Structure 1
C-alpha cells in the first residue's frame, strides 16, 4: 500500500526508503561498505559515521532525501559487479583463522600489503579490505585468480602437515611453549598480533609453521598430492619436537632405574660430548635421545603406537 505525503521531501524520503528496503537491504555488509567508499570517492558524499555498526541504516539515512538516490545506488552496484569478488570465493576462509593469518601473510610477502590493522579483532575484514580497496585496480578475474592460488597453497600445506595434530588443541602448556620456541628461533609470525584465547594462539602458531613452506613450486600449487615438505621445514619441525621432548623430560623428574648398556668407545665419546654441549648428564641425554626417536618413529601423529 502506497503512502502519500503532502510534504515533497518526506514523500521523497519515503519512496527512497521503500526502494532501499526492496533493493539494498539484501546486500551484505561488505557490499554496502564498498558502495559507501565508492560514492565517497566518486560523488563526494560524506557518510557521518564510518565506524557504524549498522552500515545499511547509515547508508539510507545519508541518502534517503537525495533526488539522485536511486541513480547513486544503481551506479555503485553496477560498478561493484566488476570490482568485488563474490562472497562464495571466500567460503574457505570463513571461520578459518589459521587460513586468514596465512592469507594475510602471503599478501604481505607477495604483494607488499601492509594496510591491515595488526590489532584487528576481525581478520576476515582485513582480507576483504585488500581485495575490495579502491587502491587495488586489478580486475575481478585477477583478484579471484590470486585468491584461488592462495587457497590451493594453503590446502596443499595444511592437508599434509605433521604438526597440527601434534600441537593439541587443549594443551595450553604445549601451545604456549611452542609459541615461545618459535619466537626465540625467529619463526613466529609477528605480522599479525595473536589474541588471548588458546584457540587463537594455536592458530597463529600453526600459521607460523605453515608459512615456512612458502614459496611452493607451481606443481605443488596446482596439485596438493605433489606437495612435499621441504628439508628446511622438516629440520625445523624435528628440532622443535625434540626440544619439546627435552622440556617434558626436564619437567617430569622421572624416577630412573639403573641399567648397564655396553657402548663402543666411539658411541660413548659421542654421548659424552652431546651431554656436555646440552649441559645434561649422560643418562639424561640418552633418555632424551631414545624418547625423541621413539616419538618420531614409533608413534603416529595422535600419539598411538604404530608397532
Structure 2
C-alpha cells in the first residue's frame, strides 16, 4: 500500500523526494552527503557562541570532537544537554543541526554539547556509544569549571542518536558514573528487529518514507557488526532488549504515527512507565520519520513541544 495520502499535506512533496540508499558502499557515501546537505540548518544567532573541542576518547580510540553551543550570558543557566545527532548511526554530523541546537541553547539558556561520534560500518558497536559516553564523562568532570551543575545534565538525541542517548543513559546508570537529570528521545531507533523477519510489529502504514525497513535493517547490520545475541552488552546496542529500565531519568519521547519506529517507541515508553520512570510520550498524526526537520506547521509545532519539554525537565 502507499501511505503518501496519509502524510501531512504541507510535508507531502518533501517526504516523497527524501534521499534513499541501499547497501552499496558508494551509495552509503552519497546518502551521507545528501543527508547533511538536505538537513543542515546553519547557526544564525549571534548571541550563541559556537566552539569546537577535542575531548579524551575511549581507551585505545581517538579523541572525540564535540561542538559546544554557549547560550547568551543574560539567559545562561547551570544546566547542560549532551546531544547526539541522527542518521541511523551510519550517517550524519553534529554540524547539520547547528541552527536547531543554537536556537535551543538560546531559548533555554542551556549549554549544549553535540558529539561527533564514530559511524558504522567503519566503527561498529560499541564505537559510537563509547564516544558519546566519553563525551558525557568529560562534560560531567568539567561541569563546575564551566558553570554547570553536574546534577543537571540531560541526554538528548534523534533517530539513531536517540538510540545512543538511551544507551548512554543505561550505561551511566550501570557504571554508576553520572546521575543524569533527564533524557529526551526524538523518534528513537531502539529495536534492531524492526523491519526484519522477526519484527515484533509490522504495520504497513509505517516506514514507507524517509527511513524504510530495508534501510533500517542495513543500518542495524552495520552497527551490530559481529555482536552475538547472547552478549551481555546487547541491551546497550539495542535498548529494546534491556531487561531492566528502572532507575533511569525522567524521559520525554516523541514519534510519528507513520514513522517506522512508532511501535518500538510506544513499547519503550510503556516499559519505562512499568519500571517507575516518569515518562511523557507524544505520537503525532500524519507524521513520518524526521518530520520535525521539514518546514511546515507540523514541524514548528513539534519543535515548540520539544522546547517546552526541555524547559520543564530542566
Q: TM-score range by the shorter chain?
A: under 0.3
RCO higher in 1 or 2 (8 Å CA, sep ≥ 6)?
2
Structure 1 length normalisation: TM-score?
0.20
